[in-house]
Amino acid sequence: MSLEERYRAVLQRVAKACEASRRDPSSVTLVAASKNQPVAALLEMYDLGQKEFGENRLQEALPKIAALPTDVTWHFIGRLQSNKARKAADAFDVIQTLESKAQLREIDKSCKVVDGLIEVNIADEFQKNGLSVDYVDEFLQEVLNSTHVHFRGLMTVGPALDDPEKMRMYFRRLRELGERLGSQWLSMGMSGDFDVAIQEGATHVRVGTALFGPRPQ
């Protein structure tokens, strides 16, 4: 399957999920998760109309950011080490993985303001990054006090389950938390389950394999 065929198929899935939940497809932002993908693949995706890309590593992302047109919105979606947070904020438009005061301190040294999402470990998995639900309220106050982060909402990486329907409860839990906190954005759902995430209120879905095919090693 070509890149264009994959892209059209993903857009169709987004539209179908929106129809099922009576949502406008324009209310969902597709973030192309382009980790390990070559610049040529990103440029081809851009030419098809994709303008939002997500990268996991700062060093890998920098040459891609330099190579693509300036109207692309770049999302940092990987684990953000605090010692790289300032450089990430300088390079990216959105940081989806906020979870510590140390990150915020470094971001506040940046040359610009970024949109920020708090990463929530919605299933309390010990091996996952993100804050437990119990600590989100306290950390939100830190984010709101940041001079260089514009709080937008919440992000989660849910459990790796074989049935997308089993994810519904976690996506719903994040949506309910987001509603309580006044979130505008909810970033949840990846290639295997973004349809369910959209039905549960996702505003941003991070899709890699379904767009690009198996990730190059």
Q: For residue 109, give the CATH number of its domain.
A: 3.20.20.10
Rounded CA separation 195/215 (Å): 21
pLDDT at 127 (0 to 100): 79
How many domains does the chain fold into? 1
pLDDT at 214 (0 to 100): 82
Question: What is the reported pTM?
Answer: 0.96
pLDDT at 216 (0 to 100): 65
- CB neighbour class for 28 (10 Å; exposed up to 12, middle 13-18, buried from 19): buried
**Inter-residue contact 75 to 57 (CB < 8 Å):** no
Question: Is residue 41 one of the residues assigned to a domain?
Answer: yes
pLDDT at 35 (0 to 100): 96
Question: Is residue 145 one of the residues assigned to a domain?
Answer: yes
Q: Which regions in the chain score pLDDT beneath 70?
A: 216-217
Question: Is residue 217 one of the residues assigned to a domain?
Answer: no
pLDDT at 159 (0 to 100): 84
Question: Is residue 162 one of the residues assigned to a domain?
Answer: yes
> Could you tell me the residue range of the domain that residue 19 belongs to?
3-212
Residues 6+ apart with CB under 8 A from 205: 14, 28, 29, 30, 31, 187, 188, 189, 190, 194, 197, 198
Question: Is residue 52 one of the residues assigned to a domain?
Answer: yes
Question: Is residue 110 one of the residues assigned to a domain?
Answer: yes
pLDDT at 2 (0 to 100): 94
pLDDT at 205 (0 to 100): 98
